[in-house]
Amino acid sequence: MSKEEIQKSIYECKNDEDIERFVQERIRGLEDDSEEVTIGQNYTDTFEQYISSKVHYKPAAKFEKGECPDLVYDDMEPYVSLIKGIRRNPWYNELTLFTSIFWELHRYLPNSEDIGIERYLTYHSHIDDGKISIKDIKAHDCAFCSEKSGLSHNMFKLLGIDSSLVSGERDNTAHAYNIIFPNGYGNKPAVIFDPSHHIDFVNEEGKKTSAGYYKALSEEEYEKMKNGESVSLDMARSGEKIKELYGGVLDGYEMQVETPSYSIGFGKTKLQKKEAELASLEKDEKDISQEENIIDAKNQKQGEQVGE
């Protein structure tokens, strides 16, 4: 289904049962189209499929006693709640969805006070199972960027909007986030959406309100990021667009300006990766050559012994 057809179907739902049926059918279709693959930290820099039950999503690095369990997004509730929220307004587009998805995601997976211990213990307790449900992450209130960006990625895919789940860095620290393609993969613009952060607006009285954290990338910025370079982003324009979108609601509010840096992958440019791959191949070739020389030497020695 195209995103236009999906939008039409959403507004044709007459009640909660219709919404649940719509979500079930969309997930079934996305599951059918998915393939088995392992993704996540230290496995992939970007991933564009729906994170289905066939996908082995590793939100964290390996543990001492084994691999990180697969995170499974097996709860329909956040998707159903998102559709209900969308239907409260007569229309939506990608720009309004950045805030709709941000609020829904933070309702379901609020910012955690955990510094990593509870998250570690929660995953570690499921190593033998090999899988862990997003419901367990929610119950233990230990969602970090990987869990949140995986869920937001699936929300965009559910709505027919092209999204990429990115493993990279924010301000030189390992971080997961999304890149959205409103006009389809390969088309401009590429837009960063970071569900772990929010754009804040504050008025003179100190009252704060927040919106979804996004930034439309220039071609140059996106090309640099694809090459593994860190790019510093001025979020001011995003704040201006949000104020334009919500009109008088944000009158008297000023955006808290940030200039974070983002990169795709973990610090290596494409050239550096190619050089590392070439060095690895050269090492393998050298090792094979040494083994062949040893075998030849043994065969020669055995031949000499037979001749004697």
Q: Tell me: the pLDDT tens digits for 293-305?
A: 777 666 676 666 5
What three-state secondary structure class fits 148?
A: helix
Instruction: Give the residue from 50, 56, 44 showing the smallest Cα distance to 265.
Output: 44
Angle at 156 between CA 151 and CA 160, to 5 degrees: 140
Do 158 and 284 lie in one domain? The reply is: no
Name the more confident of 208 and 63. 208
Report the b/e string of 156-168 with b at 16+ CB within 10 A: bbbbbbbbbbbbb
DSSP 8-class letter at 189 = P
Look at the block and give the residue holding tokens 């509870």.
118
Do 128 and 181 lie in one domain? The reply is: yes
My answer on whether omega of the bond before 189 falls inside 30° of 0, hence cis, is yes
pLDDT in tens, 229-281: 999 999 999 999 999 988 788 999 999 988 999 999 976 544 455 555 666 66
DSSP 8-class letter at 241 = H
Whole-number Å distance between alpha carbons of 189 and 235: 16
pLDDT at 1 (0 to 100): 87
pLDDT at 143 (0 to 100): 95
Instruction: Using the Cα atoms of residue 271, residue 277, residue 283 and residue 289 in order, give the sign of their dihedral.
Output: negative
Instruction: Give yes or no for a contact between 145 and 175, defined as CB atoms under 8 angstroms apart.
Output: yes
pLDDT at 285 (0 to 100): 73
Instruction: Using the Cα atoms of residue 74, residue 78, residue 81 and residue 82 in order, give the sign of their dihedral.
Output: negative
Do 177 and 304 lie in one domain? The reply is: no
Do 123 and 8 lie in one domain? The reply is: yes
Domain count, the chain: 2
Whole-number Å distance between alpha carbons of 249 and 22: 32
pLDDT in tens, 154-208: 999 999 999 999 999 999 999 999 999 999 999 999 999 999 999 999 999 999 9
Instruction: Using the Cα atoms of residue 33, residue 38, residue 39 and residue 40 in order, give the sign of their dihedral.
Output: positive
Instruction: Retrieve residue 290's tokens.
Output: 């040494």
Instruction: Give yes or no for a contact between 250 and 243, defined as CB atoms under 8 angstroms apart.
Output: yes
Is the pLDDT reported for residue 306 higher than 80? no
Do 293 and 276 lie in one domain? The reply is: yes
What three-state secondary structure class fits 66?
A: strand
Instruction: Give the residue from 9, 178, 162, 30 showing the smallest Cα distance to 83.
Output: 9
Residue type for position 217: L
* Structural domain span for residue 301: 271-308
Do 16 and 65 lie in one domain? The reply is: yes
Do 242 and 115 lie in one domain? The reply is: yes
Whole-number Å distance between alpha carbons of 253 and 209: 9
Do 202 and 297 lie in one domain? The reply is: no
pLDDT at 100 (0 to 100): 94
Do 208 and 297 lie in one domain? The reply is: no
pLDDT at 308 (0 to 100): 55
pTM of the shown model: 0.85
Do 99 and 187 lie in one domain? The reply is: yes
Do 195 and 293 lie in one domain? The reply is: no
Do 163 and 228 lie in one domain? The reply is: yes
DSSP 8-class letter at 112 = P
